[in-house]
Amino acid sequence: MNAIADMPSSASNAAAHAQRGAPLIDVRDLRKRFGEVEVLRGVDLQIARSEVVCIIGPSGSGKSTLLRCLAALETYDQGDVRIEGELLGYSERNGKRVRASQGEINRVRRNVGMVFQQFNLWPHMTALGNVMEALLRVQRLPHAEARRRANEMLETVGLSHKGDAYPAKLSGGQQQRVAIARALAMEPHIMLFDEPTSALDPELVGEVLQVMKQLARDGMTMAVVTHEMGFAAQVADKVMFIDEGRIAVQGKPREVFHDAGQPRLRQFLQNYFDRNAFWARGPDDEAPL
């Protein structure tokens, strides 16, 4: 018996795709403009299953727009965004492209989870309620099942003791971990993170990065826009430097961070190191930089 042939068609597409070992996300020549300004100017990006890709780049270079296109939160003008082999945002009929229906878009992006800089939790719901919400409304799980899964997800992010707390009573780091649990509850195949730690007090960054590192170790496929170069260096399989709407450099962290020949990348990294440098020669040196 062919198990794949017996699945409903969308599941069968995804499963067949997985078997072929094709990229989970496959972006070709992606272009997006806001009015006169072309913000994405031909982005090519492939993310394999279980791969962690970190995206770095200057403010305004198009990082958030790129992630938003991958989650269908933004439409794109040209190129292909394929998720597990399926074209996102458009359908092809007789060789022509037409905008896909919202139902079709939702179907193709159902396995994409996203975590934002601002956690966007419902203030009137507890941590548990926030994680359960989409399970009840979107997946239409029975209440007890949604509750069980939400508790499991809170445990994954180290917050099983905070299920009854409202967001206002949680630290920023805890709120962001609830947001991660909420995305994970939908059992995504890929998680997109847009600067998940940049709204946090520096002391709270570590706890969120820790959760993300564990996810990476567990084999989650991830695309992470971040300014945390240490995280990118440790966790990424691939680092991409995006500049003016194009991927200007990509490679293994060592290649990108240590052998940066590209002038814009060098300048970007130099700015970063200057901002984060504290002492000229070491902590015993009296002259801070």
Binding site for Mg ion (CB under 5 A): 64
Beta carbon nearer to Mg ion, 174 or 226: 226
Residues 121 and 150: their CA atoms lie apart, in Å, by 14
Q: Number of residues interacting with ligand ATP: please give it, by CB under 6 A.
A: 10
Nearer to Mg ion, 84 or 195 (CB): 195
Minimum Å gap between C-beta 116 and Mg ion is: 10
Question: 19 is in the binding site of which of Mg ion, ligand ATP, none (Cβ under 5 to 8 A by kind)?
Answer: none
Which of Mg ion, ligand ATP, none has residue 279 at its interface (CB below 5 to 8 Å by kind)? none
Q: Sign of dihedral through CA atoms 204, 253, 56, 273?
A: positive
Nearer to Mg ion, 68 or 149 (CB): 68
- Of residues 65 and 130, the one with the C-beta less far from ligand ATP: 65
**Applying CB under 6 A, does 226 fall inside the site for ligand ATP?**
no
Return d(Cα 67, Cα 39) in angstroms, integer.
13
Least Å from the CB of residue 116 to ligand ATP: 11
Q: Near ligand ATP by CB under 6 A, which window of 54-62, 138-146, 167-175, 248-256?
A: 54-62
Runs of H (alpha helix) within 114-195: 127-137, 143-156, 172-185
Q: Least separation, in Å, of the C-beta of 32 and ligand ATP?
A: 8
Distances (CA, A) of 212 to 206, 216, 229: 10, 6, 14
Q: What is the Cα 11 distance to its own chain's centre?
A: 22
Contact (Cβ atoms closer than 8 angstroms) between residue 54 and residue 224: yes
Of 111, 82, 102, 105, the C-alpha closest to 22 is 82
CB 58 within 8 A of CB 248: no
Q: Which does 61 bind (CB under 5 to 8 A by kind): Mg ion, ligand ATP, none?
A: ligand ATP
**Residue 195 CB contacts under 8 Å (≥ 6 apart), including other chains:** 64, 117, 225, 226, 227
| Of residues 146, 237, 239, the one with CA closest to residue 187 | 146
CB of 192 to ligand ATP, least distance (A): 12
Q: Residue 63 or 82: which CB sits closer to ligand ATP? A: 63
221 CB-near residues (< 8 Å, 6+ apart): 24, 25, 47, 48, 49, 50, 51, 52, 189, 190, 191
**Of positions 4, 29, 34, 254, contacts ligand ATP by CB under 6 A:** 34
User: Binding marks (x or -) toward ligand ATP, 57..96, rule CB under 6 A?
Assistant: x-xxxxxxx-------------------------------
The residue (of 65 and 175) whose beta carbon lies closer to Mg ion is: 65
62's contact among Mg ion, ligand ATP, none, with CB below 5 to 8 A by partner kind, is ligand ATP
DSSP code for 120: -
Which residues in this chain contact ligand ATP in the complex, by CB under 6 A?
Answer: 34, 39, 57, 59-65
